[in-house]
Amino acid sequence: MIPFNHLGWIFKTFGSTVYPKEVRQELCTFLKSLSLNANVLDVGAGTGMMCEFAHVCREDLTLVAVDPAEGMLKFSPSYVTTYQASAEALPFDVDSFDVLLMGESLHHFRDIDVALDEAVRVLKDKGKLFIYDFNVNTFMGKSICRGEKLLGEPGNFFEPELLKDKLTNYGFTVNIKEYAWRYTISAVLDKK
Ligand SMILES: C[S@@+](CC[C@H](N)C(=O)[O-])C[C@H]1O[C@@H](n2cnc3c(N)ncnc32)[C@H](O)[C@@H]1O
């Protein structure tokens, strides 16, 4: 297991370097169409890095962060409301959020199907999902996956096209962008 509870200051200091500038720009574009004060949930938020990026793009957004590691959450900015919880058991009502963010966190979820069931439950109809993760179909992605599995992590890395198929089965319309060994998914949920 990676001891995230003790790594908060490292992620707070260096975490942003994992996100290419293009990905942050894409996130801003993705957030542009949201209504004023839209509700955004960062799942596996760690120190709230994705929330920080979102806040730079749109100061009006209502930002909520969920992570099992209190030692990560405590480094979140004051404008983020934090909950210690896992993606597989989100402490929110049905249709609570306009947007879900998952920044290099999906591959840490122990049960992807349960986490996606939860994502769909708390997202509103026509709600949006933004994922940033590492492509297991690349040398770097494979190496990170192997390394994490050696550390006892689930290593639930995807090839983007396979994740697209999975999300489509959950009712999402999915758009993939690749950035060398990393990728983003922006998706819209149709609940009907
Ligand atoms: C690599 S960090 C990424 C944190 C943050 N999103 C960022 O981009 O800096 C992965 C995070 O996933 C969290 N995590 C692990 N298992 C989780 C689960 N089942 N549900 C939600 N988050 C989880 C970890 O505690 C950790 O904070």
Expressed in angstroms and rounded, the spacing between residue 64 Cα and the centre of ligand 1 is 14
Does residue 135 have its Cβ closer than 6 Å to ligand 1? no
pLDDT score for 98: 98
Does residue 106 have its Cβ closer than 6 Å to ligand 1? no
Summary mean pLDDT of the chain: 97
Pocket test for ligand 1, best of 1, 2, 4 (most atoms within 8 A of CB): 4
pLDDT score for 129: 98
Expressed in angstroms and rounded, the spacing between residue 98 Cα and the centre of ligand 1 is 20
d(CA 43, CA 34): 18
Q: Phi and psi (nearest 5°) for 85?
A: -165, 170
Query: What do you get for the CA distance between the two ends of the chain, in Å?
Result: 38
pLDDT score for 191: 93
Percentage of the residues of the chain whose pLDDT score is greater than 90: 99
Expressed in angstroms and rounded, the spacing between residue 96 Cα and the centre of ligand 1 is 21
pLDDT score for 184: 98
pLDDT < 70 stretches in the chain: none
pLDDT score for 17: 94
pLDDT score for 192: 76
